[in-house]
Amino acid sequence: MKQFDFGIVGLGVMGKNLLLNMADHGFSVAGLDLDQAKAAALEEGAREGQDVKGFITAEKFVSSLKRPRAIMLLVPAGKPVDAAIGSLLPLLEKDDIVVDGGNSYFPDTERRFAELAKKNIHFFGMGISGGEKGARFGPSMMPGGDAQAYERLRPIFEAIAAKVDGEPCVTYLGKGSAGNYVKMVHNGIEYGIMQLIAETYDIMKKGLGYSDDKIQSIFASWNDTELQSFLVEITGLILQKKDDDTGKQLLPLISDQARSKGTGKWTSQNAMDLQAPVPVIDMAVLMRDISKFKEERVAASKALKWAGEENVDATADMLKNALYFGMITTYAQGMVQLRLASEEYGYGLNLEEVAKIWRGGCIIRAACLEDFRKAYKKAPDLANLMLDKEIGEDLVARQKDVREVVKVAVEKGIPAPALMAALSYFDAYRSDRLSTNVIQAQRDFFGAHQFERIDKEGVFHAQWE
């Protein structure tokens, strides 16, 4: 029987496209799906002369793979991953490799890593970003697991990954759940930037009265500036789309009740565990939650009115600077979380490498990531991107415009929590003394929790009454 280089379980759009991508780069590949039509579609999508085979039974699929076998799972996160592992395990041998390519929660990956290690099976959690197009033509991939076993995967992954300046957007990130953790934070940053873009759109439309065509033109032009990024680019395309039925712009016809799959929430929850402040991501999660209260919001819009202040304004350049400021601070927050998580969980993350593999293929790819890569190359132990000289000076130069745009949102009654959180994070981080001394005193007053002083060593308790 033909022996294939790599196998994937789950031949949906992502699984099929990744295998065809591998075949384009000269690898022989096999796929497993219980749906005969999907297995057949994989083979039909291959070019003449490519070694691509679809299977519908696990036994034949596993036996067709070169040893040590390399198998990726592309099934929904949670119990389906455990079920897939359970069905494969009796067929696997020592040193075989199983890669979970879904958005699994990192503690689940840590558990699976330990369980399979006892059976001498190597387990990888690998985040994949770029959607179906990225899978077919070059995604960003974030693998974590055993460093030595990664050498079996590296030639394939480096071949199929997106390339920036000839460098593949994939690298070994660290042991255990490092890959899934980095992808989780990637998705949290994605939440934050999407919310910032949505707020900028709202300020333009409701606050400044820009026409749909003007807003589209602005977003399209921004993608040729320092804001160049996948999410800004697709926003310009979204604003251009007309509805097939009505001929009107499609965007206003789309429901404002946003959905999510939980990765942003995981980012916020774990950031709180690590005491890593990520307020822009927190606000992005909050806004998706509040969007679901549609009936209540409609009722409140009639009962809780605000007339708005007419004597405030902002230019397109101010909006551009505000959005860029928000984006940079969001990346900074995510990178701080990665740094603290690496220390807490022993991942050994290299943040320059993380910035490098995010430059292409992934949803949060942006021109500014090259600046981040350079910043971490200069200072690998950089505590916060805002402390890099060039990045910090850029933020300082743009802060006046952020404050003006926030004024417009406040005076017009437009919710802009992510933009406000970005500014508050900046202001809090640059404060040499915060008002949290009041909180220290309050805690001691009602709970005798004690406090520290600035004029002497030790902890103290005061008799407040």
Specify if 229 maps to a domain.
yes
Specify if 177 maps to a domain.
no
Statement to judge: residues 385 and 350 lie in one domain: yes
Statement to judge: residues 421 and 359 lie in one domain: yes
Specify if 39 maps to a domain.
yes
Spatial distance between the Cα atoms of 423 and 44, rounded to a whole number of angstroms? 52
Query: Taking the model in full, what pTM does it have?
Result: 0.95
Is residue 183 annotated as part of the catalytic site, yes or no?
yes
Statement to judge: residues 71 and 143 lie in one domain: yes
Statement to judge: residues 192 and 107 lie in one domain: no
pLDDT digits (tens, 9 = 90+) for 316-363: 999 999 999 999 999 999 999 999 999 999 999 999 999 999 999 999
Statement to judge: residues 278 and 405 lie in one domain: yes
* Joined tokens for residue 299: 């009722």
Statement to judge: residues 391 and 449 lie in one domain: no
pLDDT digits (tens, 9 = 90+) for 360-370: 999 999 999 99
Statement to judge: residues 215 and 275 lie in one domain: yes
Backbone angles phi, psi at 338, to 5 degrees: -60, -40
Model pLDDT, residue 311: 85
Model pLDDT, residue 82: 95
b/e per residue 193-230 (b: at least 16 CB within 10 A)? bbbbbbbbbebbbebbebeeeebbbbbbebbeebbebb
Task: Find residue 167's DSSP bridge partners.
Answer: 164
For tokens 């890099």, the residue is 388
* Domain termination site, one of 126, 153, 172: 172
* Domain termination site, one of 117, 146, 172: 172
Number of domains, the chain = 3
Are the beta carbons of 283 and 271 closer than 8 angstroms? no
Is residue 190 annotated as part of the catalytic site, yes or no?
yes
* Domain termination site, one of 123, 150, 172: 172
CATH of residue 187 = 1.10.1040.10
pLDDT digits (tens, 9 = 90+) for 34-66: 999 999 999 999 999 999 999 999 999 999 999
For 349, residues 6+ apart whose C-beta sits below 8 A from its C-beta are 173, 174, 178, 182, 338, 339, 341, 342
Instruction: Please report, for residues 33, 43, 154, 162, the alpha-carbon distance to residue 18 in angstroms, rounded to integers and kept in the order given.
Output: 14, 13, 15, 12
Statement to judge: residues 153 and 269 lie in one domain: no
Specify if 459 maps to a domain.
yes
Binding residues for substrate: 103, 129-131, 186-187, 191, 261, 288, 443, 449
Are the beta carbons of 371 and 400 closer than 8 angstroms? no
Specify if 143 maps to a domain.
yes
Going by their DSSP bridges, the two strands 6-9 and 167-168 should be labelled as unpaired
Q: Find the catalytic residue in 190, 199, 233, 353.
A: 190
Specify if 178 maps to a domain.
no
| Enclosing domain of residue 168 | 6-172
Statement to judge: residues 168 and 187 lie in one domain: no
CATH of residue 124 = 3.40.50.720
Specify if 1 maps to a domain.
no
Binding residues: 103, 129-131, 186-187, 191, 261, 288, 443, 449
Are the beta carbons of 385 and 372 closer than 8 angstroms? yes
Are the beta carbons of 235 and 225 closer than 8 angstroms? no
Tally helices (H) and strands (E) across the chain. 19, 11
Spatial distance between the Cα atoms of 109 and 87, rounded to a whole number of angstroms? 17
For 83, residues 6+ apart whose C-beta sits below 8 A from its C-beta are 75
Q: Find the catalytic residue in 16, 38, 183, 356.
A: 183
Statement to judge: residues 168 and 210 lie in one domain: no
